[in-house]
Structure 1
Amino acid sequence: MNTLKVLLIAPNIDGTDVGEAFVAFKWAEALAELVDLTVLSFERPGRESLAQQLPAAKVVSWPEPAWARKHERLNAMLKPAWPVFSSHVRRWIKTTLAEGTTFDIAHQLMPQAARYASPLYGCGIPYVIGPLGGALETPEGFKGEMGSASWFTKLRAMDSVRFAYDPWLRRSYSNAAVVIGVAPYVRDVLGKVPLKKFAPVLELGIEELAPEVTRQTGTDTLNLLHVGRGVRTKGLRDVIRALAQLKDRPDITLTSAGAGEEIDLCRKEAEELGVADRVTFLGRIPRDEVEDLYRKADVFAFPSFREPAGGVLYEAMRWGLPIIAAQRGGPDWIVDDTCGIKLAISTPEALARDLADAIRTLADDPEQRHRLGQGSREKVAREGLWPTKAKELVNLYESLI
């Protein structure tokens, strides 16, 4: 069989970056080993060229506009240079096809947010969009605790309106051979858009399993770990409230790694609830120190209630940690009963109570902790390694042609 010719587009693909740009790079790197890959992307000045980073692929790039890089958070959220990138892509495809070059399939890998009409519509190549994520609303019971947020984050509320009425967005999604979501919930989010086909594919992967760790088997101590940005949705405040319901178990402690406006609020809450001596706030720490936390922890408690995917779950699972997560969004798909405990999301009071029950259960049952930890490791080994994920994506490509 001839090697599949794939055109991959994303506004930022960069193995030296973080977030979407890094994830896009890992997909491109893995796909380049399996297909004849052409990549279209922006590049930022002063960084290693994308052609050097992806020697197995053909790379076409354009400088990312300087004005789009002035506010990183806004750039990550809104992708203000997307129209510029789309214009580059459409012109390049038109010229390249006119010169006689063909592709079996095209794939708009990023942005992950489901709010960007694809430049691949009408290009004459079967195309794929995704994995798309985001667009999860804050549960009603938690809205009163959300606090302030940047003005542009409130634009998420417009997504459902655009899925229903934006003609450019709707037609580019409707004409895709398949729209991929980071988890099954995305199909419901896009419910007002008629899709030819939908497939759930988690956008995250891992390089390799971490070294196997022999964890404690007693019930005298339990070390909980939470890793994530310091924002309300990540659920750190709820774990602290759960600790306050376990005052008869001073042996249960929590370590938090992450920075943000929520951390000071959580520190204050821990003091008010009388559990400050059982919570360690490390703030933002280097990557190798985070890895050491995974190695030392007993349970990963991450009840994020508006989580589209959940990359830290894979990080914890590769270390063989049992998981406590929310039964919502990406975590609801990643975590099953072989590797963790999932909690329903209704109100902060109910979540704190259910967290306390789950923590007590794992604290009192080292055999269950061991079983769920082994399940985490086996699940991420089975489905999370980048070569495995790339093969599954190529199988999906082939099914569409």
Structure 2
Amino acid sequence: MTTTTTMLSSPSASMEESPGVARGDAAPAPRRRRRVLVSAIAVSPLRGSEAGIGWNIGSRLARYHDVTLMCIPGTRDPHRQEIESYLKEHGPIPGLTMLYIEPTWLFRLFDRNSSSLLRPLFYIGYASWQRAAYRTVKRLHAEKPFELTHHLNILGYREPGYLWKLPIPFFWGPVAGASNMPWRYFPMLSWRDRVAYGLRNIANEIQKRLASRPRKAARAAAHIWAIGEDNRRMFTDVFKVPAECLCEAGGKPRPELASIKIYDPANEPLRLVFAGYHIGRKAVPIVLHAIARVANEFPITFTSLGSGPEKPKWQQLAQRLGISDKVTWIDELPQVQAHARMAQAHVFAFPSLQEASSTVTLEALSLGLPVICHDACGMGFIVTGDCGIKIPMRSPEQSIQGYADALRRLHQDPAELTRLSRGALRRSEELSWDYAARMIAEGYDRVLAAKEHASER
């Protein structure tokens, strides 16, 4: 195994002068810059999901502290090359050091991108990488001590790594993985999905209660951030430790497309849009059934962006419900084009049953789109009464009726839709990558300052 450390900049330089990270609110002066080790196995400035989270939060933390960002250089995806190319184009990031830990042979064998038969064993390979990373960090800490460590990703609670074993404050999160697929919604899923999610639900409850290392890491943590109430309750109710809600993703403002939505029911239909991978847990049939219930009351259209295995079934359902003339199906588009299509709508409908925070929800808010979603998962934290309408997730029938009632409400009160649109733009600003990094940096300062104050007594 090869370990590579790459210095990208001077730790004491001002972050606000760096073109390598998107600008945001000016970083307030920290109590003092601390030496921080952040573990984020996946890091890339060019990708979304875990890699995007690793980069966007890890790099922005360097505004406040001297950050060593530990990650894998890549297996199938060339993350290191993407990072180095980005920095060559945009310039170095003051305060950031990249630490690359090569994948172990077990990690390569059970990589998520390997065959579907081996994919369930991913966490075995991932744990072996974390053990190798811990040995390297332990050596570096002995040579030049870190003041705190932070396990950023993978987000799932099942693998917290080993940094919590070091004799310094350990921070964890944002953490996901606690949510189960609601059993009452299983009739909406394909038989394959019912089997897969059923087994996952059972395994998830067993792991929460019997897996020892997540519990030990949680109890060793100085502070934990959780994605939404489901994950926060896992820590408080099962692990018996406090946790704070924090969105793991950040919105990217698109001022050229954002607008306050104005709906004129006398002259135009109420335009809904959905965007995402067309799989069972996205639960688009809830929206289709809701549209069928209100279609004879007022004009309405629905645009579904994306593709996936459930799309043909959903198209057939729209035909059976007699609303196929109101639904437009558009295959996956490049992000800029997808955002342009979304921006043409009045409302973003996102009926997903299981998510972390969902980047597309943040994208919708950044376009000024009010969101209708379930009051669950990360959406329950992201969406407030000032930017959307949340439907209790109790049963398919109640969800369908809840969506239908929400559509009637917006049709009957266009001023409410405009109010929610204004709120969506405000909420998008609150949930930026800059905001997430600032909350984490302030969490570091708050916890460590309290420990230092206590030690002085």
**Alignment TM-score, normalising by the size of structure 1:** 0.92
Partner of 1:172: 217
Find the counterpart in structure 2 of residue 34 from structure 1: 64
2:187 is the counterpart of 1:157:
no
What code does the residue aligned with 2:283 have? Answer: G
- 1:220-239 CA deviation, whole Å, 9 max, x = no partner? 31110011221222231110
Q: Any conservation in 2 of the 1:113–1:132 contact (CA below 8 Å)?
A: yes
Separation in 2, partners of 1:59, 1:152:
37
> What residue in structure 2 maps to residue 192 of structure 1?
238
Go from structure 1 to structure 2 and tell me whether the alpha carbon gap of 1:371 and 1:168 turns closer, same or farther (over 3 Å shift): same
TM superposition shift of 1:215: 3.7
Query: Is 2:299 the counterpart of 1:266?
Result: no
Distance 2:168 2:435 in 1: 26
1:386 CA drift (Å):
1.9
C-alpha separation in 1, matches of 2:115 and 2:60? 27
SS at structure 2 position matched to 1:59: strand
Cα distance in 1 for residues equivalent to 2:179 and 2:84? 35
- Deviation at residue 206 of structure 1 after TM alignment: 2.0
Distance 1:199 1:92, change over 3 A: same
Q: Which residue of 2 aligns with 1:285?
A: 333
Q: Hey, what's the Cα distance between the residues in 2 that align with 1:178 and 1:23?
A: 19
**Residue number in structure 1 paired with 2:136:** 92
Report sequence identity in percent. Answer: 24
Q: Provide the residue aligned with 2:410 in structure 1.
A: 362
**Is contact 1:43-1:50 (8 Å) kept?**
no
AA matched with 1:165: L
Aligned to 2:12: none
Query: Unaligned 5+ residue runs, structure 2?
Result: 1-30, 449-457
2:371 maps to 1:323: yes
The residue identity in structure 1 corresponding to 2:189 is: M
1:164 and 1:192 in contact (8 A); partners too: yes
Give the conservation status (yes or no) of the 8 Å contact 1:133–1:309.
Answer: no
What secondary structure sits across from 1:121 in the alignment?
Answer: helix
Partner residue of 1:60 out of 96, 99, 102: 99
CA-CA distance at 1:312 after TM superposition: 1.5
Structure 2 residue 151 is matched with structure 1 residue 108: yes
Q: Are residues 1:202 and 2:235 paired?
A: no
Q: 1:77 to 1:202 in 2, by over 3 A?
A: farther
2:418 alignment partner, SS class: helix
Query: How far is 1:121 from its partner?
Result: 2.3
Change (3 A) 1:76 1:216: farther
| Contact 1:255 1:282 (8 Å CA) reproduced | yes
| Alignment partners' CA distance in 1, 2:277 and 2:102 | 30
SS of residue paired to 1:81? helix
Counterpart of 1:28, as a letter, is G
Which residue number in structure 1 is paired with residue 263 of structure 2?
A: 217
C-alpha deviation, 1:303, in angstroms: 1.9
- In the alignment, which residue of structure 2 is the partner of 1:373? 421
The more displaced of 339-348 and 39-48 is: 39-48
Q: Is 2:348 the partner of 1:300?
A: yes
Aligned partner of 1:243 in structure 2 is 291
Aligned pair in 2 of structure 1 residues 125, 75: CA closer, same or farther (>3 Å)?
farther
Change in Cα spacing, 1:398 to 1:75, as seen in structure 2 (3 Å) is farther
| C-alpha separation in 2, matches of 1:66 and 1:166 | 24
Unaligned runs of 5+ in 1: none
- Change in Cα spacing, 1:30 to 1:207, as seen in structure 2 (3 Å) is farther
Deviates more, 1:275-284 or 1:307-316: 307-316
Preserved contact between residue 253 and residue 428 of structure 2 (Cα < 8 Å): no
- Normalising to structure 2: TM-score of the pair? 0.82
Q: Could you list the per-position Cα deviations for residues 283-331 of structure 1 after superposition, in whole angstroms to 9, with x for gaps in the alignment? A: 2221112111221010111122222322221111111111111111211
Structure 1 residue 194: deviation in Å? 2.7
2:52 matched residue in structure 1: 22
The one of 32, 42, 50 aligned to 2:83 = 50
Q: Aligned AA for 2:40?
A: A
Alpha-carbon distance change, 179 to 215 in structure 1, aligned in 2, over 3 angstroms: closer
